[in-house]
Copies of this chain bind each other. A is one copy, B any other.
Amino acid sequence: MKALEKRITEEGEALSSNVLKVGSFLNQKIDTAFMFEMGQEIARLYQNEPITKIVTIEASGIALALAAAYYMKVPVVFAKKSKTSNVSGEVYQAAIHSFTHDCDYHAVIPQAYISSQDMVLIVDDFLAEGNAVAGLTGMIEQAGASLAGAAIGIEKGFQGGGDALRAQGIRVESLAIIEKMEPNKIVYR
């Protein structure tokens, strides 16, 4: 998605060789119209799949997931990063290492919210080492649901997560893939 690459080049900041800040339009301040353009593009990419549900993970995946869900007319389920007081009943869990936060957490989805009849699309704003998508894939497998693939806002290709998932046969569509990142220079695949 050329418009996303342009936006990253204009507003993104490489805070180090592998941390990209795009808080000005994507994951802290949200350019609402642009977020819905990204959601519409995800809906277009997966228009031929009979998707019944989008699954994402809190927090910054929720906005892109909802924007895509608006066009695909399906519900969104987001994994919580801990089992809070308002989660009850049996849950699917996955241990996930967060690259951004440099910590491990247990992602939780109540079993009632994914069924074996579902065809699921995973949506997230970023893909780095692929740990979140792998964890969500595991929970979708536990539910006996089908996986249509993953739709990502920005994939940091040089961190290898996307290609590892593709090598497992998972369809991964990223709206922008960064091949190399240096201060003041971002190269796209």
Contacts and interface: CB of A to CB of B under 8 A. Distances in A.
A19 B70 contact: no
A185 interface: no
B31 A86 contact: no
Contacts of A88: 13, 15, 21
A151 to B, nearest CB: 15
A66 interface: yes
Interface stretch (A76-84, A140-148, A164-172): A76-84
Given A30-B78, A78-B30, A24 B112 contact: yes
B86 A30 contact: no
Contact of A66 (B19, B66, B85): B66
A60 B77 CA distance: 11
A183 to B, nearest CB: 13
A184 B130 CA distance: 42
A36 B84 contact: no
B63 A31 contact: no
Contacts of A13: 88
